[in-house]
Structure 1
Amino acid sequence: MWAFSGPGVAMLPAATAVAVLGVAVVLWTVGAQLSHSAGRTWPWWLPVAPTMAVVVLALLVTGLPLRARWALSRDAFAAVVTRLPEPATTTGFDRVPVPAMVGSYRITTAYRVPGGVVLYEANGAFFDDAGFAYLPDGPTPSLGNGSFESPVFRPLGGGWYRWTASW
């Protein structure tokens, strides 16, 4: 669930979780088969694993891990943005200082951009960049440039967006 609680998908933790879940499925299947072939009644714990799998899948499909973690961190992001210095220019990306941890997210860098602030999250989205942006008037086409190619913004509410960008 943690791998899906960022602006992008943290691929290494997600792949590790899939591998661990694969082993758990095999162990559950073997346990169920051994229990059934021995002529015993089904143990009480047998339906727990599939039930948990359905619950986790439902949480991932609805995006709840990201929304919950973001809700806990939003005030910290708002506080950081309000303390940022005024932009040096209005045409380009001006790097601004931000704490390494904002809420529960690790931030590597931040830039003032026309219309707001773009923050890069440390885990990114595998080979792509990912993060959060405060753009009260919404994203503009001018945000895509040579170092910030093809950004895709998804609204989080209140002028906040999560974004991913390929390079």
Structure 2
Amino acid sequence: MSAEISKNRKARHEYHILDTYEAGVELKGTEVKSIRAGKVNIADSFARVEKGQLFLYGCDIQPWETAGSWFQHQSRRPRRLLVHKAEILKLEQQTAQKGNTLVCLRMYWKNRRVKIEVGVAKGKSITDKRHALKDHVEKREAQREMQRFNKGH
């Protein structure tokens, strides 16, 4: 069972997602409490392979109000992502190709642990975005027409 914490809706609009990976997140105690309270934003987050490890940047986890100042965490600090070494090597090869990047797609709970879905992505052009939006609108209108037709019969 996985309960979604946060989702990056902008990512699927801005990028073609080529492949997805699941990664654990190394967190502090106050960060977990803030995530449980829903004070997390992954809209601008991305991952990068550095020195054989995978790090998450731009993930905004707000400080927990009731913690003392010595227990607080920085809201936008780099966080280490926990994946197998073979996956790190694959991700490093895929991001070495021109135009590919690692984008955070969603954050969710899995067996009482916080997981991040990271996608290998390639940027869309403006025309691709327009076509995707046009297809989405057409599908929505067709679905409405079908519902209206089925409601009458």
TM-score (normalizing by structure 1): 0.23
The normalised TM-score by structure 2 is 0.24
Rg larger for: 1
Identify the structure with the greater strand proportion: 2
With a CA cutoff of 8 Å and minimum separation of 6, indicate the structure with the bigger relative contact order.
2
